[in-house]
Amino acid sequence: MNLIQQFYRQAERDPDKVALLFGARRLRYREVVSEVARLAALLEAMGVRRGARVALLLENSIEFTLMLLAGAELGALLVPLNTGAPPAQTHRLLTSSRAAFLVAGHAVLGQLLEAVADLSVARGQILSVGAGRVGGCRHYPGPDEKPGIVPAALGARPVDVDSDYLVTMTSGSTGEPKSIVFSQRIKLARVSLPRERFWDIPVPKIDSPTRQPLLPRPSCAHHDSVPHIAAKLLVRNSVMMTTMTLRRVGCAICMPYVTPYRS
């Protein structure tokens, strides 16, 4: 089974369990399934197909996780970028990644479009996420808005588990930035690593007994966020996300920053 099929199987077993938390927001597994289906349908309507490169310029948020799942559903190749990088560096990495689509928070997207006149991705292939709209770009609908398309059931699209899934871009400090490509199978194989790397400390109940990590900002360690998210969602745990400064565990470059949740 591919990543989205494994997630959907868990969601069917306990649809009312809280899956994602960010501040006051909570999404249950059934709500995550619904939102991922809507987002995947919107991206598909924009032209995203299997193998299409989709750059992500998103802060740590529920939408970041929804995009990871929607990308897996479509068989897209996701390219997370550093939201804290200067616009010129972001433009350079975006161009080097050969991404045809961009999904970005509206604030950082506005800054990027204001600073870069000749962005390599056309505005019609940019999806703005969050409150507010950016001229010429598509917008990810909020819960009270309708995208005007009918979402397909998750797992219905035939995506091979060996298909390319995630691209990490090198900094380009010694030349042009280079792509490092990971398949869904590789990311699924790494799901067990967070349990070996990080503390797993009991935390207060949220609907049912669970353990919750605070995930790193994707701008710091986006490619390692994926197995850490999957390690929790694929066993029906709750994932709490944060933008706070977290304590570092270990010393490897790009290792996630994680701290136990405490009430």
Residue 147, class by beta-carbon neighbours within 10 Å (0-12 exposed, 13-18 middle, 19+ buried)? middle
Task: Quote the tokens at residue 48.
Answer: 């995203």
Rounded to whole angstroms, the Cα distance separating 112 from 91 reads 8
The angle subtended at Cα 120 by Cα 226 and Cα 139, nearest 5°, is: 65
Q: pLDDT of 13-29, one tens digit each?
A: 889 988 888 888 889 99
Q: pLDDT of 86-96, one tens digit each?
A: 999 899 989 98
* pLDDT < 50 positions in the chain: 194-221, 223, 244-263
Q: pLDDT of 134-180, one tens digit each?
A: 888 999 876 555 556 767 777 778 889 888 898 887 766 666 777 78
Question: Which domains, from first to last, does the chain contain?
Answer: 3-141+158-241 (3.40.50.12780)
